[in-house]
C-alpha cells in the first residue's frame, strides 16, 4: 500500500443517510442526519440532548490547510498520514479533561471511530476566541512595526520576540462575515475589542451579556488546564483558538459549550520546553509547516498578503510539495498526539471502509 492510500483526503463522499447537502470545511465534513435518524439515535444511545435536537456525523480528513489554502504533495499525496487521527485524539483528550474538571461540555456526543464524531447542532458564537501567552507570529510582526493596541489591549514597550507576556491576552476576532456592527468591518477574521462584543452581544450570537464573561472564563480556564498538562510534558502552550456555541440539554437548559477542536497543533502553537529554555523555538504544531512554506517559496509575501489571495491559491494548486515535508508534518502531529494522550496512534489502512462498516453495523446510518 502506498503512502497516498493511507491518507483520507476526500471525506464528503461517504454513503451516510442525509437529506441535506454535506458541509465541507478545510479539514472536516459534516453530514446532517435526518430528523428520524437523529430522534432514533437520541433515544437509543441516551444522549443528554433535547429529543428533537439535530445530530450530525462529523468526519475528519488528513488534508492540511495553511494560509487559507489546502496543500498537497508529490506522488498524489493529498494530505498528511495520521494527521486526522492525531487531531481528533488530542481534542478528545482535552474535551474529556475539561468535563472532568467541570469546565463545560462539548458538542461531541460519541466517538465511534478515530476519524468520526457524532455531534449535536450548536448555535455558534460568532467569535474566534484567541488566547495568547507569548508574543510571536502575527502579533510580533505587528508589534515590531510599532503597533501597541491589540483588540483594545495596550501592550507595554520593550517586549522581545517569543517572550512570555505579562498576562494571558484574549484577542478575539470575527468568525465569518458579520454585517451592521458599528466599527467592525464586514470581513472574516477581523480583530475586535471586548467593547465591540459588549455593545453588540446579540450580533455575535450571545444570548445574554453575562455570557461574555462566561466565555472568557471558559477560555482562560481551558487554556490554563491545557497549559499545565503540557508543562508536565515539558511543552509550552503558546497560544490557541477556541470556539463556543449553545446547545439545549434533555431537561431544556441552554448551555454554553466548547465546539470545533481544542488544543490541537492545528488550532494552537506548542513549543518544546527544553529547546525554548535554550533560546530555540522547536514547533510542535502546524506553525512549523507554515514556516517551511514561507522558506520554500521565493516570494513569501504571497502567503502573508491577503490582497494576493488569487496568486496564493494558484501556488497551492500548482505546486506539489516534497513528500518529506508532509512526512515531517506527520511526525510532528503523531509525536505530540502520542505525548499528550499517552497512547500510540494506529494508522488505518482503509479508514473510509472502517467508518462505513461501523456506521452501518452499529448505527444503521449507511444507505
CA distance 204 to 201: 5
In a domain, 335, yes or no: no
In a domain, 219, yes or no: yes
Q: What percent of the chain has pLDDT over 70?
A: 99
| Final residue in a domain of this structure, among 277, 294, 315 | 277
Task: Look at residue 348 in the predicted model and tell me its pLDDT.
Answer: 85
Q: How many domains does the chain have?
A: 2
Residue 142 belongs to domain with CATH number: 3.30.470.20
155 φψ region: left (φ > 0), alpha (ψ -120 to 50), beta (else)? beta
Q: In the structure grid, which three cell numbers stand for residue 176, read together?
A: 465569518
Mean pLDDT of 186-194: 91
Q: What percent of the chain has pLDDT over 90?
A: 92
Q: Are residues 115 and 147 in the same domain?
A: no
In a domain, 283, yes or no: no
Task: Look at residue 350 in the predicted model and tell me its pLDDT.
Answer: 87
The 3-state DSSP composition of the chain as helix, strand, coil percent (nearest 5) reads 35, 25, 40
Q: Are residues 150 and 190 in the same domain?
A: yes
Q: Are residues 128 and 253 in the same domain?
A: yes
Q: Are residues 31 and 113 in the same domain?
A: yes
Contact 129, 101 (CB under 8 A): no
Mean pLDDT of 8-17: 96
Mean pLDDT of 242-251: 96
Q: Are residues 130 and 170 in the same domain?
A: yes
CA distance 42 to 50: 8
Helix (H) or strand (E) segment spanning residue 23: strand 23-24
| Final residue in a domain of this structure, among 241, 260, 277 | 277
CA distance 75 to 288: 22
Q: Mean pLDDT over all residues of the chain?
A: 95
Residue 241: Cβ within 10 Å count: 20
Model confidence at 199: pLDDT above 90: yes
Mean pLDDT of 224-252: 97
Task: Look at residue 2 in the predicted model and tell me its pLDDT.
Answer: 67
Q: In the structure grid, which three cell numbers stand for residue 95, read together?
A: 474535551
Residue 188, phi then psi, degrees to nearest 5: -70, 145
DSSP 90-139: HHHHHHHHHHHTTS--BSEEEEEETTEEEEE--EE-SEEEEEEEE--HHH
Model confidence at 349: pLDDT above 70: yes
pLDDT digits (tens, 9 = 90+) for 26-36: 899 999 999 99
Q: In the structure grid, which three cell numbers stand for residue 2, read together?
A: 502506498
Model confidence at 5: pLDDT above 90: no
Q: Are residues 228 and 263 in the same domain?
A: yes
Q: Are residues 131 and 143 in the same domain?
A: yes
Q: Are residues 349 and 253 in the same domain?
A: no
In a domain, 118, yes or no: yes
Listed residue (167, 151, 175, 152) closest to 243, CA to CA: 175
Mean pLDDT of 331-356: 94
Residue 39 belongs to domain with CATH number: 3.30.200.20
Model confidence at 1: pLDDT above 60: no
Q: Are residues 9 and 133 in the same domain?
A: no
What residues contact 242, with CB distance under 8 A and at least 6 apart?
A: 129, 130, 131, 218, 219, 222, 223, 258, 260, 262, 267
In a domain, 179, yes or no: yes
In a domain, 17, yes or no: yes
In a domain, 304, yes or no: no
Segments forming the whole domain that contains residue 76: 3-122+341-361
In a domain, 177, yes or no: yes
Residue 4's pLDDT band, with cuts at 50, 70 and 90, is: confident
Q: Are residues 194 and 141 in the same domain?
A: yes
Q: Are residues 75 and 206 in the same domain?
A: no
CA 256 to chain centre: 18
| Final residue in a domain of this structure, among 240, 260, 277 | 277
Q: Are residues 134 and 257 in the same domain?
A: yes
Amino acid at each position: 500500500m502506498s503512502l497516498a492510500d493511507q491518507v483520507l483526503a476526500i471525506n464528503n463522499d461517504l454513503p451516510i443517510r442525509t437529506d441535506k447537502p454535506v458541509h465541507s470545511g478545510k479539514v472536516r465534513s459534516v453530514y446532517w442526519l435526518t430528523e428520524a435518524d437523529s430522534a432514533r439515535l437520541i433515544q437509543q444511545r441516551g444522549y443528554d440532548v433535547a429529543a428533537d435536537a439535530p445530530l450530525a456525523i462529523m468526519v475528519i480528513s488528513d488534508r492540511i490547510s495553511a494560509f487559507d489554502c489546502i496543500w498537497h504533495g508529490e506522488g498524489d499525496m493529498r494530505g498528511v498520514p495520521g494527521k486526522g487521527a492525531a487531531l481528533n485524539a488530542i481534542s478528545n483528550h482535552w474535551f474529556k479533561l475539561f468535563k472532568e474538571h467541570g469546565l463545560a461540555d462539548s458538542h461531541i456526543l460519541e466517538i465511534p471511530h478515530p476519524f468520526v464524531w457524532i455531534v449535536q447542532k450548536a448555535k455558534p458564537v460568532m467569535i474566534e476566541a484567541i488566547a495568547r501567552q507569548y508574543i510571536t507570529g502575527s502579533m510580533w510582526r505587528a508589534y515590531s512595526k510599532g503597533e501597541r493596541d491589540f483588540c483594545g489591549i495596550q501592550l507595554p514597550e520593550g517586549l522581545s520576540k517569543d517572550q512570555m507576556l505579562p498576562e494571558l491576552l484574549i484577542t478575539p476576532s470575527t468568525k465569518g462575515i458579520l454585517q451592521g456592527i458599528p466599527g467592525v468591518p464586514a470581513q472574516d477574521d477581523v480583530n475586535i475589542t471586548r467593547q465591540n462584543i459588549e455593545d453588540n452581544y446579540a450580533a455575535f450570537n450571545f444570548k445574554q451579556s453575562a455570557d461574555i464573561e462566561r466565555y472568557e472564563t471558559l477560555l482562560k480556564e481551558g487554556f490554563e488546564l491545557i497549559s499545565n498538562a503540557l508543562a508536565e510534558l515539558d511543552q509550552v502552550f503558546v497560544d490557541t483558538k477556541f470556539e463556543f456555541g449553545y446547545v439545549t440539554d434533555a431537561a431544556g437548559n441552554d448551555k454554553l459549550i466548547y465546539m470545533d477542536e481544542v488544543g490541537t497543533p492545528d488550532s494552537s502553537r506548542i513549543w518544546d520546553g527544553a529547546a525554548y529554555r535554550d533560546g530555540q523555538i522547536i514547533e510542535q504544531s502546524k506553525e512549523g509547516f507554515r514556516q517551511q512554506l514561507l522558506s520554500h517559496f521565493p516570494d513569501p509575501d504571497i502567503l502573508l498578503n491577503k490582497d494576493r489571495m488569487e496568486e496564493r491559491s494558484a501556488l497551492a494548486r500548482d505546486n506539489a510539495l516534497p513528500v518529506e515535508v508532509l512526512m515531517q508534518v506527520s511526525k510532528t502531529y503523531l509525536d505530540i498526539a502520542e505525548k499528550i494522550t499517552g497512547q500510540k496512534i494506529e494508522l488505518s489502512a482503509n479508514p473510509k471502509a472502517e467508518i462505513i462498516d461501523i456506521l452501518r453495523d452499529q448505527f444503521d446510518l449507511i444507505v
